[in-house]
Amino acid sequence: MRTTISVPEISERLGICEETIYEMLHSHEIPNIRHGHRFIVSRAAYERWEATIGEGAPSAAGKEPARIIPISAPATVKTRSPKAG
């Protein structure tokens, strides 16, 4: 097995077009090394990345329900009138 993975292979595995893969490589969303105009993607690094897709997004399952915090009316501020001299 090769130690690198190609853009067409990544595209097929993720089910998205190669153009999108190149955009993800440019933004380093997918781990890679640049060599001139080429992107070199380590198969091991890619597979670690692929295994974590979606882990950063919060899920609704197991999430504590949102608490409703009542908004109280603003406190009335009493001002002192200046003392007459």
Amino acid at the residue 32: N
Q: Is residue 84 part of a domain?
A: no
Name the residue range of residue 20's domain.
7-51
79 pLDDT exceeds 70?
no
Helix H or strand E encompassing 47: helix 43-51
Number of structural domains (the chain) is 1
Q: Looking at the domain assignment, is residue 34 inside a domain? A: yes
Print burial letters for 37-49: b (CB count within 10 Å at least 16), e (below 16).
eebebeeeebeee
- Whether 78 is covered by a domain: the verdict is no
Residue 63 in any domain: the answer is no
The predicted-structure confidence for 21-67, as pLDDT tens digits, reads as follows 999 999 999 999 999 999 999 999 999 999 998 776 554 455 555 55
Radius of gyration for the alpha carbons in the chain, expressed in angstroms and rounded: 27
